[in-house]
Structure 1
Amino acid sequence: MQTGTVTATTTSEGISTISFFHPSHNSLPGALLTQLAETISTVSQAAETKVIILKSEGEKTFCAGASFDELIAIEDETQGLAFFSGFAKVINACRTSSKIIIGRVQGKAIGGGVGVAAATDYCFATSQASVKLSELVVGIGPFVVGPAVERKIGTAAFAQLALDAAEFRSADWAREKGLYAEVVDSIEALDAAVLAFATKLAAYNPEALTDLKQVIWQGTGHWDQLLPERAAISGRLVLSDFTRDAIQQFKSR
């Protein structure tokens, strides 16, 4: 259980739900990132899938981003590239999926968690789902998730999140900027809204949805190259003394 889990289920209506869990605030270690990306790709290719819901388990944090235990264990740039490429794989799996992906964000999204939310096509959240790009605090930057987040909220808002790295922005702020499409007051309301929207989409022409997905993501075909390049930047910075000291201080809080 300490390694986390990824599960997938599909209803008779063609609504597939992919859920990830990790006991440390739904953080995403490398193995879990790889499993999540592979699951998104596999479920997307299934004939019975009409629409996908992407969620995490629990009632609090949606995703705390990278695993600090793995970050501190990285010993060279090759390992750094491999780890941060995990987030690239998840974002690109969402981007290249032929199915519309609905995000369900029940709580705080931090670092890579903001990137996961941004990689969905239509995202619902609760009022507790504040966001923070905390990478600068520990000496790296939101390089891998940056293209996905900037695409959703624009350059100015992305700069706000990236530079004011110690502060959360509210769920309403995220909705106003376009990261969230809708914000509701409770998890019960969240689940009802997500299911209602997924049911509506599942009844639409699947070919039209696939074509619309391609239109929505137009201009991102170079991300197969861009995101690994960004991962290499983070993989280099995570080896710095500044970053190692910052991570150790953060873990000791």
Structure 2
Amino acid sequence: MRANPWILLGRLWLGLAYAFMFLPLVVLVLFSFQKNRFPGFPLQGWTLQWYDKLFTDGTLIKALGNTLIVSPAAASVATVIAFLAAYAFNRFTFRGKTTFLAMVTLPILIPPLILGVGFLGLLARLHLSGTLFAVFLTHVVLIVAPALAIIQLRLSQMPASLEEAAWDLGATQWQAVTRIVLPFALPGILGAWLLAFTFSFDEFIIAWFVSGFQPTLPVAIYSVLVAAIDPSLNAIGTIVFAISCLVLVGLELVLLPLLIGKSESRS
């Protein structure tokens, strides 16, 4: 039986798409161990000197540390705000609801360059410019909107009768939220946190304006690239890639069985 040529063509395109996404990562890892300062093929020797330089110099490692402080904190605060806002939007009717929703989503629609200039002037007047707290505040403002969109979409799929039934059975508002709403919204909350973390980790323009002498990793990488070609960038990229893979695998091993178990217990 001959295979459908359209299926073969689809598989070919899928393979090319995967190669386009993952080959740069493979090349990044290979170049981080290459002895030659100027990356290229064929590879000329293997070395760990770029990793040694990375930890000896400390600039990029410090920037990575700053990012790993700011991004989880900003993602966590933004996710909490997004959940509270999404719950209010889905369960209550109040004056100015549409206006408030527009104000929450507005920052992501404004060009980051304009936001960066605005935040720089405001934070300078508050004597916060050039601190990690400034980066944290600006990232929270920026990433609430995408987190809100994901959580609101999840909560919109929850029948209001579930929460009302909990009230009828004697549950308080707090008990209904913690035992009914939160478990239902958990997949959306986790997805919102991961997206917010990714946005914060990758954000460059606003961080470049407000971070000062406390740069995040994207700002530090840009500063290195402006000065010269530095193979230690391949090393820091490999470390970040490895951390990302470990986090994703850990989340899958820990959270996926938990979510599946809750789903089976409901059914």
Q: Shorter-normalised TM-score: what interval?
A: under 0.3
Q: Which has the higher strand share?
A: 1
Could you tell me the TM-score, scaled by structure 1's length?
Answer: 0.24
**Which one scores higher on RCO, CA 8 angstroms, separation ≥ 6?**
2
Could you tell me the TM-score, scaled by structure 2's length?
Answer: 0.23
Question: Which of the two has higher C-alpha Rg?
Answer: 2
